[in-house]
Structure 1
Amino acid sequence: MKVLVAGANGHTGRLILQYLLERDHEAYGMVRDEQQAPRLKNIGAHVVTGDLEKDLSDLVKGMDAVIFAAGSGSKTGPEKTKDVDRDGAINLIDTAKKQGVDRFVMLSSIFADQPDVAEGPFGYYLQMKGEADEHLRNSGLTYTIVRPGGLTHEDPTGKVHIAEDVERGSISRGDVANVIVTSLEESNTYHKSFDLIEGEDEIPEALKKL
């Protein structure tokens, strides 16, 4: 599959590209700054330059699937959270639909469907993520929404706990990336949203039990 990854230069985004390439997909990493391109080219990905807040038609056209793994980051204010985590995602969803790209996988966050569990900036972030998720659910696309717990830089184990709702927990970025890429062609994940934390199930089996 030809797969466009938004947020490709982030920690999780780069891991997604690596898993795509390992499984013989054609990976296209989207970055805002051309200076970020060499790092992604070094792992074998194609690199395209684009801004989630602008027209993305040329980048999405011809893709088989889109993965949204972008984020405004913890150092930005609420305006950028809205612009990237909600509106940027919505822009990419709508562009995929217009360009006839049906498969869309969203990297969301645990509690994105329950923004009132937190106050302040994190609560607002959850609200924005939740609104983007809801837009995807209503888009008519073949979607999968992955809502991981706290992200760590621990080595991936390949073992997870996946359910529609889980208690608080953490998960390595590598395992999140693996789940996202495995979900691409796992039909049991189509039109589903699920939480993801570390656990005891091998990733392919966990997805099949959804």
Structure 2
Amino acid sequence: MKVAVIGANGKIGTHVVEQLQQEQKHDVVAIVRKQEQLDAWQQKDVQARLVDLEDPVGNIAKAMADIDAIIFTAGSGADTGSDKTLLVDLDGAVKAMAAASAAGTQRFVLVSALQAHRRESWNEDLKAYYVAKHFADNELMRSDLDWTIVRPGGLTDESGSNKVQLAKDLSSGTIPRKDVASILVRCLDTPKTIGKHFDALEGNTEVDKAVAEV
């Protein structure tokens, strides 16, 4: 498959691109917003394309014309306001879904947030973020795409143990970004994850086994 990683310059996205490149099972395309980011990936022999999620759906769809699967890891970042959160984490994600449908890209793996499906569990200090994730998830579940939604807990930059716990309802906890990336990559090759959504935390089960048992 040719896999587009939207948000390839982010911390999770970078791990996803690197893992796909190392495994060489799929062709990976890094989707980024800035020319210097594109240049940096190309210097590492990774295909890269410029896409701005605030552009019209048609522009995004053109960049997806030959793509078989999308892993959406983009986010507005902690330093932006609620307006950017809604424009990127919600509207950007929904535009990417519409672009995938228009381009004939069927597989779509989305990064959400722990317990985004349960309003009563939302962190009040991050309410706009959870609103964005909640409704983006719902739009994906209503789509005709072959979707998977991964809801990681608090993200850390630890090296990762490749051991996780995956379930529909998990309490608060953390998970290294590298392990989140491993989950996303494994979902691509695990058809039974299609139509599934689940929380993800660090745990005691190898990623391959945990994803296979979702």
The TM-score with structure 2 as length reference comes to 0.94
Matched, 1:21 2:21: yes
Matched, 1:139 2:143: yes
Alpha-carbon contact 1:81-1:128 (below 8 Å) kept: yes
CA distance in 2, matches of 1:44, 1:176: 23
CA distance in 2, matches of 1:110, 1:44: 34
- What displacement does 1:6 show? 0.8
Give the 4+ runs in structure 1 shifted more than 6 A.
Answer: none
List aligned pairs for 1:67-82, cutoff 5 A: 67-82=71-86
Alpha-carbon contact 2:115-2:170 (below 8 Å) kept: no
CA distance in 2, matches of 1:17, 1:2: 12
Which of 153, 156, 159 is 1:152 aligned to?
156
**For residue 162 of structure 1, what is the aligned residue in structure 2?**
166
Q: Which stretch has the larger CA shift, 115-124 or 154-163?
A: 115-124
Matched, 1:85 2:86: no
Alpha-carbon contact 1:116-1:123 (below 8 Å) kept: no
List aligned pairs for 1:18-97, cutoff 5 A: 18-24=18-24, 25-54=26-55, 55-97=59-101
**1:169-189 deviations in Å (ceiling 9; x for gaps):** 100011000000010110121
Which of 148, 165, 172 is 2:176 aligned to?
172
CA distance in 2, matches of 1:71, 1:19: 20
CA distance in 1, matches of 2:43, 2:164: 29
Which of 194, 197, 200 is 1:193 aligned to?
197
Matched, 1:202 2:203: no
Task: Report the CA distance shift for 1:176/1:7 in structure 2 as closer, same or farther (over 3 A).
Answer: same
- What displacement does 1:201 show? 0.5
State the SS of the aligned residue for 2:48: strand
- What displacement does 1:140 show? 1.2
- What displacement does 1:81 show? 0.7
Q: Which stretch has the larger CA shift, 159-168 or 39-48?
A: 39-48
**For residue 121 of structure 2, what is the aligned residue in structure 1?**
117
State the SS of the aligned residue for 2:104: coil
**Unaligned segments of structure 1, at least 5 residues:** none
CA distance in 1, matches of 2:123, 2:113: 15
**Unaligned segments of structure 2, at least 5 residues:** none
The TM-score with structure 1 as length reference comes to 0.96
In percent, how many aligned pairs have the same letter?
Answer: 37
CA distance in 2, matches of 1:176, 1:119: 21
State the SS of the aligned residue for 2:99: helix
Alpha-carbon contact 1:109-1:147 (below 8 Å) kept: yes
